[in-house]
Structure 1
Amino acid sequence: MTKFDKGIGRRSVLKGMAATAGLSTLGMPSIVRAQSAGTVVMGTWGGDYARLLNKNIEQPFLIDKGWDVIQDQAGDPERRAKMMAERRLPTGTTDVQGLNGPNMYQVYELGLTQPIQYDKIPNAKNMLPSMKYEYGVGHIYSAMVPVYNPDVIPEAEAPTSYKDVFDPKWGDKLGIIDIQYQYTIVAAALAAGAGVTGFKEGEELLMKVREAGCRIYPTNEAFAQGLKAGEIGVGIMWKARVVQWQNAGIPVKAAWPSEGAISYVSGFVVPKNAPHPEGAWAYINAMLEPAAQENFAIDMGYNPTVTNANVAPDLNERIGFKPEEVEKLNNMDYGAILEHDVELKTWWDREFKA
């Protein structure tokens, strides 16, 4: 694997994915701004992720050192559309964008973002090689696994594969997440035995569970509430999220899928027309600080992308992966996703959700 591999290696991934929120710091116009280290505008999802960016990265490693940090919060489709609309402008409105793996790849292939300048990111020397891409920098990673509520699904019937999850027998006890359409179609394709690019086979299987009455939730959080309330008993989700939900008292367990889990990477990209490119490199460097990575593991259950982060053994047991699980990891084909994304989303919205 090359240093700037555009794909994510099967074994190396686990060895080693709107409105401006406002300034995170507001100082006196003359004195504080004169001392400012610079400005950085971060495009991100809202909710817990935005809050934890501020808590674990922005406040300790940027704001406290004089940087003015602005969060531009929106869903990633809206932020990618905004980047596309701004592509011909000499200066855009964001310096860094947080996206999942397929979408980091997509915006780079569309010519919206620039190659990562790792020589401007000192902490990059500690990164897992598999998390250093030409098109983006990996922030956190996990994998998509079957999940179930043991109060709803008896342990004897607990899913041990994607095929078990996408079984029409569950009826309305199966929950599916709208914003996870890409990963859900790929997981269904694996369940159908068609591989990560077997989109048609995945769609056919999903139509069967839809006809059987599966529930569709708009967000990960809504899905979690459905589990908690016992409306649903089974579905798929990132292993990291399962840890978060368990910490919040939601009755949920995870299993490793026999087909091999789908990897998940979330990271940062830099638009070609970033208004404050030096702020972008400073932000990414702060993201790679060991303490920032350690705290994301604690707060969100995702694995660090640097080798010098210290994750407690008991936490690593909950969020990490066994060697045999790493061996069976399935990686999204980013090129195929990019090529077929419009038709996949059209099918999802007009047929599956209809």
Structure 2
Amino acid sequence: MRASSPRTHHKNPEADMTKTTTPFSAPLSRRSVLVGLGLAAGSAVFGLPRGAAALEGTLVVSNWGGDWNERTIKFVEAPLVESQGIKIVRDLGMEPERKAKLIAEKRLRRGTIDVIHINEGDSVELNGQDVLADIDFAKVPNYADVVPALKSKPFFVPWLYSGVTLIYNKDKVPNPPKSYAELWDKKWAGKLGLTNQLYFNYVMMAGLIKGGNVTNTEEGKKRLIELKELTQPRIYAAHQQLAAGLANGEVDIAINYKARGLQWANDGAPLAIQYPAEGAIAVMFGAALPKRAPSPELAYVYFNAMLDPKAMAGLAGASFYAPANAKAALSPELKAKIDFTAAEAAALKFPDYEHVAKNTAEWLEWWNKNIAR
């Protein structure tokens, strides 16, 4: 599903995350397949077959930093890629800078990036810039086990997903808002925390309320100005700062990915999650192959490692994002915590990422001028 990263990396990732219209026209909708399938547990694949030859070469991976990158190294890169003899060079940063670098390199005969970690929306934007290659999924054996509803694009490897929910301090907010719309209330003045990393999700959220939809974004911008006037929300640079604000009592409510709220609660913060009545905006993270990647064959090794069921189960347990591989062996308790109920899955709102791709640069400029300052 579709999008940043939080415990925090530069953007979840969590920027963080799919859509209601164009990109996902398949015989079965993403929503219906997710409701029907859930995340089935299954046997795990534990790396290379015995006797497989070690690989050589250097792979440049563009990724968020922070805990997102640390988990990527722990569960994917170190045990499943570097262990094969591949040297990974990590190019870490916020996604706007990383995307800009990739776009700039399309003028070159050969680029510098082999794998780029992005959310699904960014993949659509970059594909429109003609910098991503279609992926030969026959070279990614673990892709066969990806939940069918997540297989929406030929240029994107789905990996982890969640949804934008209401996260609140259960010790200080006994009666939390049950919907996005309920945040538009003066009683939350000074209590609401937002992060610049999710500006595009907030624009869609504001368009969704009052019977709207995720493409009603011009109206959404007007409503965000109203929200600012009513509540004067604290704006944090990234997920990590927002987490600190919740922990130290600067704010009592945040709008962020369910996975991030679960991470922060797991770290000891007295937080709870409220699924919004409108339906949570879905977010999915994954990776893509640049057209001018210097080592595309090694990139395929990396993609398959990302989807390894053992790695995915480990990532789910550490990050609380739901894994794309349906055979990730999750305990019933973990699955119940990180996944959505059938009703919640049915209500997920999938962004129209073609619409997002056309407007995200303008939204960011608008956000910085009107909300972030």
TM-score normalised by the chain length of structure 1: 0.90
Give the corresponding residue for 1:137.
157
Q: Partner letter of residue 85 of structure 1?
A: A
Q: Partner letter of residue 115 of structure 1?
A: D
Give distance in 2, aligned partners of 1:160 and 1:205: 18
> CA shift at 1:64, angstroms?
1.2
- Please, which moves more after superposition, 36-45 or 306-315? 36-45
Give the corresponding residue for 1:185.
203
> CA shift at 1:250, angstroms?
1.1
Alignment of 1:236-315 (within 5 A): 236-315=255-334
1:86 partnered with 2:82: no
Task: Judge conservation of contact 2:63–2:117 (CA < 8 Å) in 1.
Answer: yes
> CA shift at 1:258, angstroms?
0.7
Give the corresponding residue for 1:22.
none
1:11 partnered with 2:32: yes
Alignment of 1:1-354 (within 5 A): 6-7=23-24, 9-12=30-33, 16=37, 36-132=55-151, 133-153=153-173, 155=174, 157-212=175-230, 213-354=232-373
Give distance in 2, aligned partners of 1:14 and 1:6: 19
Matched position secondary structure for 2:61:
strand
> CA shift at 1:123, angstroms?
1.3
Compared CA separation, residues 43 and 195, structure 1 to 2 (3 A): same
Task: Judge conservation of contact 1:151–1:251 (CA < 8 Å) in 2.
Answer: yes
Q: Determine which structure has greater relative contact order: mean sequence separation of CA pairs < 8 Å that are 6+ residues apart, divided by chain length.
A: 2
Compared CA separation, residues 15 and 225, structure 1 to 2 (3 A): farther
Q: Partner letter of residue 181 of structure 2?
A: K
Task: Judge conservation of contact 1:240–1:319 (CA < 8 Å) in 2.
Answer: yes
Matched position secondary structure for 2:33:
coil
Task: Judge conservation of contact 1:146–1:165 (CA < 8 Å) in 2.
Answer: no
Task: Judge conservation of contact 1:40–1:95 (CA < 8 Å) in 2.
Answer: yes
Q: Partner letter of residue 194 of structure 2?
A: I
Give distance in 1, aligned partners of 2:184 and 2:65: 30
Task: Judge conservation of contact 2:58–2:88 (CA < 8 Å) in 1.
Answer: yes
Q: Residues 180-204 of structure 1: CA distance to partner in whole angstroms, max 9, x if unpaired?
A: 1001111121124321011122112
> CA shift at 1:152, angstroms?
2.3
> CA shift at 1:151, angstroms?
2.4
Compared CA separation, residues 352 and 15, structure 1 to 2 (3 A): farther
**Any gaps of 5 or more consecutive residues in structure 1?**
17-34
Alignment size in residue pairs = 331
Task: Judge conservation of contact 1:192–1:205 (CA < 8 Å) in 2.
Answer: no
> CA shift at 1:14, angstroms?
6.2
In percent, how many aligned pairs have the same letter? 33
Give distance in 1, aligned partners of 2:326 and 2:198: 29
Give distance in 1, aligned partners of 2:186 and 2:223: 9
Give distance in 2, aligned partners of 1:253 and 1:227: 12
Matched position secondary structure for 1:225:
helix
Matched position secondary structure for 1:107:
helix
> CA shift at 1:148, angstroms?
0.7
Give distance in 2, aligned partners of 1:168 and 1:207: 14
Q: Partner letter of residue 266 of structure 1?
A: F
> CA shift at 1:90, angstroms?
1.2
> CA shift at 1:238, angstroms?
0.9
Compared CA separation, residues 88 and 272, structure 1 to 2 (3 A): same
RMSD of aligned alpha carbons: 1.7
Q: Partner letter of residue 152 of structure 1?
A: K
Give distance in 2, aligned partners of 1:278 and 1:262: 34
Q: Partner letter of residue 32 of structure 2?
A: R
> CA shift at 1:39, angstroms?
2.0
